[in-house]
Amino acid sequence: MNPDFDTIKRRFEMIGFNKAFEHAVNVAVQAAKTDLSVLVTGESGVGKENIPKIIHAYSDRKNKNYIAVNCGAIPEGTIDSELFGHEKGAFTGALDKRSGYFEDADGGTIFLDEVADLPLATQVRLLRVLESGEYIRVGSSKVQKTNVRVVAATNVDIADRINKGKFRLDLYYRLCSVPIRMPALRERQEDILPLFVKFASDFSAKYHSPIISLTDDAKEELKRYGWPGNIRQLKNVTEQMSLIEEDRLVNAERLKPYLTSPTSNLPVLAHTETDAFEQFRWDTMKVISDLSKEIVELKKQLNKIQASNNSHTVLPDAFSDMAMSYPDKGIRMSRIEDEEVRDLPEAVDYLEVSDGGKPKQHPHEHLAPEEDDEEIIPLSEMEKRAIEKALRRHEGSRKLAAKDLDISERTLYRKIDLYGLE
């Protein structure tokens, strides 16, 4: 016998009277009776994480493990190990054998949130699990079996990812045996005020303060707003008002400042930071471009100086190789690879280019930069500052910071480790 809708809402602390919302929950209960894979779609903040919990709770697997995995939060280099486990010595740092989530969830349910962020190689492994229940640990050749119910979720346009070759069509069909769409909050007009009342009551109890309430004009304003952040944004707005407002009855005028998008709060600051970093990138690449024509000749000159005065100063080969890879025209202004950035400041310390293109010799038989009124900041320090700024701007989100810096998330992790950043 299926549980009634009110029972499910109470159990999972869900609020809603919208027909599309009710349909999504009912489909989840029906799907729980089967072992079919489920794909939950919907915008960020609509409550997609409740669907796999409902499916697991009303399935025959309810007494087994339920594991939720945020695929977008795991670095590409470790995602296979996290999902499927690894053998001792499979890679640097693999000191012991480790089981993965698919092994730990055997007999139960695994929820793959942000599944569209999985690398293509991992998608192949996941497809094999869905088709045959088989997987192989990283660093092993032994095939293992698992009996896991997979529920996946995404807030992106899967069709667009498939068209761009970033998501496998066959994997999509395997995951989407039962599709469930969670409606956006703006589609649930009748649920906005009940949700607000629920959150206001929760925060009143949490902060031991009188419950916040709205005037009629404020209620209309709340329903007219578009809610790009959906239920999560409504909850945050309610908490902010519960903490800030002295008058516990809030009208429309006092409500409006809380109903803003992330970019509208600090448009000038966000624009300035982005422009500053872009300028840094272009300036850095311009320096490399200007130096590239002179590096080969400078190395020849330095080797001549070494031969004549027995100096130990030698331009590193890595720097010379790097210079050869940057012609003075048609430079790709997208990113600087790890080895190139790491070698550049070390090599620049050895030389200072004069107007004639020849190095100047230090009195102690080493080349040293000519003193200038303006402090010269090493490129490595500039890069470190840029990474720190990006991490601060995105509150520590490495995924967003990497996107802002136009580098891969894996590269950002190496940079953070290189510079000792937290």
pLDDT digits (tens, 9 = 90+) for 74-106: 998 899 999 999 998 888 887 888 999 999 999
Residue 262: burial class (beta carbons within 10 Å; 0-12, 13-18, 19+): exposed
3-class secondary-structure state, position 418? helix
Q: What is the four-CA torsion angle of 272, 277, 280, 284, rounded to 10 degrees? A: -160
208 and 176, same domain (yes or no)? no
111 and 14, same domain (yes or no)? yes
Task: Please report the pLDDT score of residue 354 as a whole number.
Answer: 39
Q: Which domain holds residue 90?
A: 5-183
Report the DSSP pairing between strands 109-113 and 134-136: unpaired
Position 233 in a domain:
yes
Tracing tokens 């031991």 back to the chain, one arrives at 208
Position 384 in a domain:
no
Whole-angstrom Cα distance, residue 109 to residue 415? Answer: 36
Per-residue tokens: 404: 């802002």
What are the pLDDT digits (tens) for 241-286?
Answer: 999 999 999 999 999 999 976 544 433 333 334 444 445 554 555 5
Task: Please report the pLDDT score of residue 292 as a whole number.
Answer: 54
2 touches 142 (CB < 8 A): no
Task: Please report the pLDDT score of residue 366 as a whole number.
Answer: 43
Position 318 in a domain:
yes
Backbone dihedral angles phi then psi of residue 298, each to the nearest 5 degrees? -65, -40
287 and 299, same domain (yes or no)? yes
Per-residue tokens: 17: 């009277």
Task: Please report the pLDDT score of residue 107 as a whole number.
Answer: 96
Whole-angstrom Cα distance, residue 74 to residue 11? Answer: 30
Whole-angstrom Cα distance, residue 139 to residue 49? Answer: 32
Task: Please report the pLDDT score of residue 283 as a whole number.
Answer: 54
Distances (CA, A) of 231 to 45, 175, 221, 335: 6, 26, 16, 37
Task: Please report the pLDDT score of residue 294 as a whole number.
Answer: 62
Question: Across the strands, what pairs with 153?
Answer: 40
Task: Please report the pLDDT score of residue 336 as a whole number.
Answer: 39
CATH of the domain at 241: 1.10.8.60
Residues 6+ apart with CB under 8 A from 210: 204, 248
Whole-angstrom Cα distance, residue 301 to residue 307? Answer: 10
The amino acid present at 139, given as its one-letter code, is G
**Summary mean pLDDT of the chain:** 80
Distances (CA, A) of 395 to 71, 124, 209, 212, 322: 19, 33, 29, 29, 34
Task: Please report the pLDDT score of residue 285 as a whole number.
Answer: 52
11 and 127, same domain (yes or no)? yes
Position 408 in a domain:
no
Count of domains for the chain: 3
Domain boundary residue among 264, 298, 328? 264
179 and 202, same domain (yes or no)? no
Whole-angstrom Cα distance, residue 115 to residue 71? Answer: 6
135 and 224, same domain (yes or no)? no
Task: Please report the pLDDT score of residue 363 as a whole number.
Answer: 41
| Residue ranges, the chain, pLDDT below 50 | 263-278, 282, 311-372
